[in-house]
Amino acid sequence: MKRYVYRLGEEELWELLAHEGVPLQVIGKGSCGVEFATYEPLKGLRPLRIEEVREDWEEWRSAFGPVEAGDIVILPPWKKVVFIKPGMAFGTGLHPTTRLCLSALQEFLKEGDSVLDVGTGSGILAIASKVLGAGRVVGIDISEEAVRECRENARLNGVDVECVLGRPEDVEGTFDLVVANLEIGVFRKDLYAILPLSKGKFIFSGLYGKGDLEEFTRLLLRRGLKPSRIFEDEGWFCVGVGDAGDKEGG
Ligand SMILES: C[S@@+](CC[C@H](N)C(=O)[O-])C[C@H]1O[C@@H](n2cnc3c(N)ncnc32)[C@H](O)[C@@H]1O
| pLDDT tens readout for residues 40-55 | 899 889 999 999 876 6
pLDDT category at 18 given cuts 50, 70, 90 is confident
134 and 55 inside one domain? no
**pLDDT at 21 (0 to 100):** 67
Share of the chain above pLDDT 70, in %: 96
Q: List pLDDT tens digits, range 8-17.
A: 998 888 888 7
Residue 147: pLDDT over 90: yes
Is 246's pLDDT higher than 70? Answer: no
Which of 62, 84, 111 is the last residue before a domain boundary? 62
Is residue 7 located within the same domain as residue 111? Answer: no
Cα dist from 70 to 67, 75, 103, 157, 174, whole Å? 10, 14, 28, 21, 44
Same domain, yes or no: 107 and 203:
yes
What single-letter DSSP state applies at residue 130?
H
> Considering the domain boundaries, does residue 186 fall inside one?
yes
CB-CB contact of 42 with 13 (8 Å): no
pLDDT score recorded for residue 202: 98
Report pLDDT digits (tens) over 110-142: 999 999 999 999 999 999 999 999 999 999 999
CB 110 within 8 A of CB 86: no
Range with the poorest average pLDDT among 20-29, 98-107, 135-144, 198-207: 20-29
Res. 7: pLDDT tops 70: yes
pLDDT in tens, 171-186: 999 999 999 999 999 9
Q: Are residues 44 and 102 in the same domain?
A: no
**Could you give the CA distance from residue 51 to residue 131 in angstroms, rounded to a whole number?**
31
Residues 123, 220, single domain; the answer is yes
Query: From its phi and psi, is residue 101 left (phi > 0), alpha (psi between -120 and 50) or beta?
Result: alpha
- Stretch (H or E) spanning 140: strand 137-141
Question: pTM value?
Answer: 0.79
CATH of residue 205's domain is 3.40.50.150
Residue at a domain's end among 62, 87, 106:
62
User: What residues make up the domain containing 194?
Assistant: 96-241
Do 148 and 233 share a domain, yes or no?
Answer: yes
Asked if residue 219 and residue 142 are part of one domain, the reply reads: yes
Statement: residue 39 has pLDDT above 90: no
Can you tell me which atom of ligand 1 is nearest the CA of 206?
A: 1
* Ligand 1, CB within 6 Å, residue ranges: 89-91, 98, 101, 118-121, 124-125, 140-143, 146, 167-168, 181-182, 186, 190, 206
Is the pLDDT at 224 greater than 90? The verdict is yes
Q: Which residues contact 21 (CB under 8 A, 6 or more apart)?
A: none
Where a domain ends, among 62, 82, 112? 62
With vertex at residue 80, the alpha carbon angle to CA 93 and CA 142, rounded to the nearest 5 degrees, is 40
Per the domain annotation, does 50 fall within a domain? Answer: yes
More confident residue, 48 or 250: 48
Number of domains comprising the chain: 2
Q: Which of 85, 90, 100, 137 to mutate to test the pocket of ligand 1 (most atoms within 8 A of CB)?
A: 90
Is 250 part of a structural domain of the chain? no
Instruction: Give the Cα separation of 241 and 191 in Å (integer).
Output: 13
Domain assignment of residue 68, yes or no: no
Across residues 93-100, what is the average pLDDT? 97
Helix (H) / strand (E) containing 100: helix 96-108
Q: What's the pLDDT band for 245 if we cut at 50, 70, 90?
A: low
Pocket test for ligand 1, best of 120, 147, 171 (most atoms within 8 A of CB): 120
CA torsion 242-121-155-135 (nearest 10°) is 10
